[in-house]
Amino acid sequence: MPRTRPTVRELAIDAPLEWVEERSGFVGLVEAFLFRNVPRDTSWLQTLGSSLLVVFLVQATTGVLLAMNYDPSPGGAYNSIRYITDQATLGWLIRGMHKWGSSVMVILLFLHMARTFFFGAYKYPRELTWLTGAILFILVMAMSLTGYLLVFDQRAYWASVVAININGTAPILGPYLADFLKAGPSVGQQTISRFYSLHMLIIPGGIFTFIFVHMWLVVRLGVTSPPWSRSRYDEAIARESVEATR
Protein backbone atom coordinates (compact mmCIF):
# COMPACT_ATOMS: atom_id res chain seq x y z
CA MET A 1 0.00 0.00 0.00
CA PRO A 2 1.44 3.41 -0.88
CA ARG A 3 2.34 5.57 2.07
CA THR A 4 -0.13 8.42 2.52
CA ARG A 5 1.03 11.95 3.05
CA PRO A 6 0.70 13.14 6.68
CA THR A 7 -2.17 15.51 7.30
CA VAL A 8 -1.81 18.96 8.81
CA ARG A 9 -3.25 17.71 12.10
CA GLU A 10 -0.75 14.85 12.29
CA LEU A 11 2.14 17.22 11.70
CA ALA A 12 0.95 20.08 13.88
CA ILE A 13 -0.74 18.26 16.79
CA ASP A 14 -0.35 14.49 16.87
CA ALA A 15 3.38 14.32 16.17
CA PRO A 16 4.40 16.86 18.88
CA LEU A 17 2.09 15.17 21.41
CA GLU A 18 3.56 11.75 20.61
CA TRP A 19 7.07 13.21 20.97
CA VAL A 20 6.22 14.63 24.42
CA GLU A 21 4.43 11.45 25.52
CA GLU A 22 7.32 9.19 24.53
CA ARG A 23 9.79 11.22 26.57
CA SER A 24 7.74 12.27 29.59
CA GLY A 25 4.43 10.41 29.80
CA PHE A 26 2.80 13.78 30.49
CA VAL A 27 0.10 13.40 27.83
CA GLY A 28 -1.08 10.14 29.36
CA LEU A 29 -1.24 11.81 32.77
CA VAL A 30 -3.37 14.63 31.40
CA GLU A 31 -5.66 12.16 29.64
CA ALA A 32 -6.09 10.18 32.88
CA PHE A 33 -7.08 13.40 34.60
CA LEU A 34 -9.49 14.70 31.95
CA PHE A 35 -10.99 11.44 30.69
CA ARG A 36 -12.09 9.36 33.66
CA ASN A 37 -15.28 7.77 34.91
CA VAL A 38 -17.44 9.89 37.19
CA PRO A 39 -20.72 8.98 38.92
CA ARG A 40 -23.77 9.32 36.70
CA ASP A 41 -25.62 11.41 39.29
CA THR A 42 -23.05 14.16 39.76
CA SER A 43 -24.39 17.71 39.65
CA TRP A 44 -23.18 21.29 39.36
CA LEU A 45 -22.17 21.13 43.01
CA GLN A 46 -19.23 18.94 41.98
CA THR A 47 -17.89 21.77 39.79
CA LEU A 48 -17.03 24.02 42.76
CA GLY A 49 -13.52 22.55 43.00
CA SER A 50 -12.84 23.14 39.30
CA SER A 51 -14.18 26.69 39.63
CA LEU A 52 -11.77 27.24 42.50
CA LEU A 53 -8.86 26.09 40.34
CA VAL A 54 -9.85 28.49 37.54
CA VAL A 55 -10.18 31.42 39.95
CA PHE A 56 -6.77 30.62 41.47
CA LEU A 57 -5.15 30.62 38.03
CA VAL A 58 -6.76 34.01 37.34
CA GLN A 59 -5.44 35.28 40.68
CA ALA A 60 -1.95 34.01 39.92
CA THR A 61 -1.94 35.62 36.46
CA THR A 62 -3.29 38.99 37.58
CA GLY A 63 -0.96 38.94 40.60
CA VAL A 64 2.10 38.57 38.37
CA LEU A 65 0.88 41.44 36.17
CA LEU A 66 0.30 43.66 39.21
CA ALA A 67 3.74 42.85 40.62
CA MET A 68 5.36 44.33 37.52
CA ASN A 69 4.29 47.82 38.62
CA TYR A 70 4.06 47.42 42.40
CA ASP A 71 6.49 49.05 44.83
CA PRO A 72 6.66 47.10 48.16
CA SER A 73 7.61 50.02 50.37
CA PRO A 74 5.61 52.19 52.80
CA GLY A 75 6.23 55.30 50.71
CA GLY A 76 5.59 53.75 47.32
CA ALA A 77 2.99 51.02 47.83
CA TYR A 78 -0.12 53.20 47.76
CA ASN A 79 1.22 55.42 44.98
CA SER A 80 2.01 52.38 42.85
CA ILE A 81 -1.53 51.10 43.41
CA ARG A 82 -2.89 54.46 42.28
CA TYR A 83 -0.65 54.34 39.20
CA ILE A 84 -1.87 50.83 38.34
CA THR A 85 -5.49 51.86 38.74
CA ASP A 86 -5.39 55.25 37.00
CA GLN A 87 -2.56 55.16 34.45
CA ALA A 88 -1.32 51.65 33.61
CA THR A 89 -2.83 50.03 30.52
CA LEU A 90 -5.88 48.05 31.65
CA GLY A 91 -4.54 48.35 35.20
CA TRP A 92 -8.01 49.09 36.56
CA LEU A 93 -9.28 45.84 35.04
CA ILE A 94 -6.37 43.71 36.27
CA ARG A 95 -6.56 45.13 39.78
CA GLY A 96 -10.34 44.74 39.86
CA MET A 97 -10.10 41.11 38.75
CA HIS A 98 -7.48 40.43 41.43
CA LYS A 99 -9.37 42.26 44.17
CA TRP A 100 -12.79 40.77 43.55
CA GLY A 101 -11.33 37.43 42.53
CA SER A 102 -9.92 37.01 46.04
CA SER A 103 -13.42 37.40 47.50
CA VAL A 104 -14.87 34.99 44.94
CA MET A 105 -12.16 32.46 45.79
CA VAL A 106 -12.95 32.58 49.51
CA ILE A 107 -16.69 32.20 48.85
CA LEU A 108 -16.16 29.25 46.50
CA LEU A 109 -13.80 27.67 49.03
CA PHE A 110 -16.41 27.81 51.78
CA LEU A 111 -19.08 26.39 49.45
CA HIS A 112 -16.75 23.62 48.25
CA MET A 113 -15.84 22.57 51.79
CA ALA A 114 -19.51 22.71 52.84
CA ARG A 115 -20.49 20.49 49.90
CA THR A 116 -17.68 18.06 50.76
CA PHE A 117 -18.79 17.91 54.39
CA PHE A 118 -22.51 17.43 53.73
CA PHE A 119 -21.81 14.84 51.03
CA GLY A 120 -19.61 12.92 53.47
CA ALA A 121 -16.67 13.10 51.06
CA TYR A 122 -14.24 13.36 53.98
CA LYS A 123 -14.86 9.77 55.05
CA TYR A 124 -12.90 6.64 54.13
CA PRO A 125 -11.05 6.39 51.83
CA ARG A 126 -10.89 10.16 51.19
CA GLU A 127 -9.56 11.39 54.54
CA LEU A 128 -6.29 12.55 53.00
CA THR A 129 -8.17 14.46 50.30
CA TRP A 130 -10.06 16.32 53.03
CA LEU A 131 -6.82 16.99 54.93
CA THR A 132 -5.09 18.53 51.90
CA GLY A 133 -8.21 20.60 51.27
CA ALA A 134 -8.10 21.88 54.87
CA ILE A 135 -4.46 22.89 54.39
CA LEU A 136 -5.43 24.71 51.20
CA PHE A 137 -8.13 26.52 53.18
CA ILE A 138 -5.51 27.77 55.68
CA LEU A 139 -3.18 28.84 52.86
CA VAL A 140 -5.95 30.78 51.10
CA MET A 141 -6.81 32.57 54.35
CA ALA A 142 -3.13 33.43 54.78
CA MET A 143 -3.07 34.66 51.17
CA SER A 144 -5.97 37.00 51.90
CA LEU A 145 -4.32 38.29 55.09
CA THR A 146 -0.97 39.04 53.47
CA GLY A 147 -2.52 40.58 50.37
CA TYR A 148 -4.74 42.99 52.28
CA LEU A 149 -1.81 44.99 53.67
CA LEU A 150 -0.17 45.53 50.28
CA VAL A 151 -2.48 48.42 49.35
CA PHE A 152 -1.07 50.18 52.44
CA ASP A 153 -3.80 52.74 52.91
CA GLN A 154 -5.33 53.55 56.31
CA ARG A 155 -7.88 50.74 56.18
CA ALA A 156 -5.33 48.12 55.10
CA TYR A 157 -2.82 49.29 57.72
CA TRP A 158 -5.15 49.18 60.72
CA ALA A 159 -6.91 46.01 59.60
CA SER A 160 -3.53 44.29 59.39
CA VAL A 161 -2.53 45.63 62.83
CA VAL A 162 -5.72 44.17 64.29
CA ALA A 163 -5.20 40.84 62.49
CA ILE A 164 -1.60 40.56 63.71
CA ASN A 165 -2.67 41.35 67.29
CA ILE A 166 -5.45 38.76 67.12
CA ASN A 167 -2.95 36.14 65.97
CA GLY A 168 -0.71 37.20 68.86
CA THR A 169 -3.37 36.17 71.39
CA ALA A 170 -3.21 32.50 70.36
CA PRO A 171 -1.75 30.22 73.05
CA ILE A 172 1.95 29.24 72.96
CA LEU A 173 2.72 30.08 69.31
CA GLY A 174 0.66 33.27 69.14
CA PRO A 175 3.34 35.78 70.23
CA TYR A 176 5.95 34.16 67.98
CA LEU A 177 3.55 34.27 65.02
CA ALA A 178 2.78 37.94 65.66
CA ASP A 179 6.48 38.80 65.85
CA PHE A 180 7.10 36.87 62.62
CA LEU A 181 4.33 38.69 60.77
CA LYS A 182 5.24 42.12 62.13
CA ALA A 183 8.96 41.59 61.41
CA GLY A 184 9.89 44.53 63.63
CA PRO A 185 8.75 46.73 66.50
CA SER A 186 5.83 48.08 64.45
CA VAL A 187 4.10 47.61 61.11
CA GLY A 188 6.35 49.26 58.56
CA GLN A 189 8.94 48.59 55.87
CA GLN A 190 9.95 45.15 57.13
CA THR A 191 6.31 44.11 57.57
CA ILE A 192 5.27 45.02 54.04
CA SER A 193 8.37 43.33 52.61
CA ARG A 194 7.62 40.15 54.54
CA PHE A 195 3.95 40.18 53.58
CA TYR A 196 4.90 40.76 49.94
CA SER A 197 7.32 37.81 49.88
CA LEU A 198 4.78 35.57 51.60
CA HIS A 199 2.00 36.69 49.25
CA MET A 200 4.00 36.40 46.04
CA LEU A 201 6.34 33.46 46.63
CA ILE A 202 5.93 31.24 49.67
CA ILE A 203 2.16 30.88 49.99
CA PRO A 204 1.47 30.50 46.22
CA GLY A 205 4.15 27.81 46.09
CA GLY A 206 2.41 25.95 48.89
CA ILE A 207 -0.97 26.34 47.18
CA PHE A 208 0.37 24.99 43.88
CA THR A 209 1.92 22.01 45.70
CA PHE A 210 -1.19 21.06 47.64
CA ILE A 211 -3.47 21.62 44.64
CA PHE A 212 -1.39 19.05 42.75
CA VAL A 213 -1.61 16.55 45.63
CA HIS A 214 -5.31 17.27 46.13
CA MET A 215 -6.17 16.76 42.46
CA TRP A 216 -4.05 13.60 42.28
CA LEU A 217 -6.04 12.16 45.19
CA VAL A 218 -9.32 13.16 43.54
CA VAL A 219 -8.32 11.37 40.33
CA ARG A 220 -7.10 8.33 42.25
CA LEU A 221 -10.10 7.96 44.59
CA GLY A 222 -12.84 9.32 42.35
CA VAL A 223 -15.69 11.76 42.88
CA THR A 224 -18.17 11.23 45.69
CA SER A 225 -21.81 10.71 44.75
CA PRO A 226 -24.53 12.64 46.61
CA PRO A 227 -25.88 11.03 49.82
CA TRP A 228 -29.17 10.22 48.10
CA SER A 229 -27.41 8.40 45.25
CA ARG A 230 -28.37 4.78 44.49
CA SER A 231 -24.87 4.08 43.16
CA ARG A 232 -23.41 5.27 46.45
CA TYR A 233 -25.71 2.92 48.34
CA ASP A 234 -24.62 0.01 46.12
CA GLU A 235 -20.98 0.97 46.68
CA ALA A 236 -21.45 0.90 50.45
CA ILE A 237 -23.15 -2.52 50.28
CA ALA A 238 -20.32 -3.89 48.14
CA ARG A 239 -17.72 -2.54 50.58
CA GLU A 240 -19.52 -4.12 53.54
CA SER A 241 -19.68 -7.47 51.77
CA VAL A 242 -15.96 -7.34 51.01
CA GLU A 243 -15.15 -6.52 54.63
CA ALA A 244 -17.41 -9.34 55.83
CA THR A 245 -15.48 -11.90 53.80
CA ARG A 246 -12.13 -10.93 55.32
CATH number at residue 200: 1.20.810.10
206, part of any domain: yes
Residue 34 has pLDDT above 80, yes or no: no
Residue 175 confidence (pLDDT):
94
Residue 242 has pLDDT above 60, yes or no: no
34, part of any domain: no
91, part of any domain: yes
93, part of any domain: yes
Domain that includes residue 193, residue range: 44-219
Residue 52 has pLDDT above 60, yes or no: yes
80, part of any domain: yes
Residue 101 confidence (pLDDT):
96
Residue 186 has pLDDT above 70, yes or no: yes
Name the domain count of the chain: 1
Residue 97 has pLDDT above 60, yes or no: yes
Q: What is the mean pLDDT of residues 199-224?
A: 92
| Contact criterion met (CB below 8 Å) for 160 and 148 | yes
Rounded Cα distance between 239 and 105, Å, is 36
| Contact criterion met (CB below 8 Å) for 49 and 218 | yes
Q: Which has the minimum average pLDDT: 41-45, 227-231, 237-241?
A: 237-241
118, part of any domain: yes
Taking alpha carbons only, the member of 62, 60, 143, 71 closest to residue 97 is 62
Residue 4 has pLDDT above 80, yes or no: no
Taking alpha carbons only, the member of 52, 42, 222 closest to residue 129 is 222
242, part of any domain: no
Rounded Cα distance between 139 and 108, Å, is 14
Residue 158 has pLDDT above 70, yes or no: yes
Say whether 68 sits in a helix, a strand or coil.
coil
231, part of any domain: no
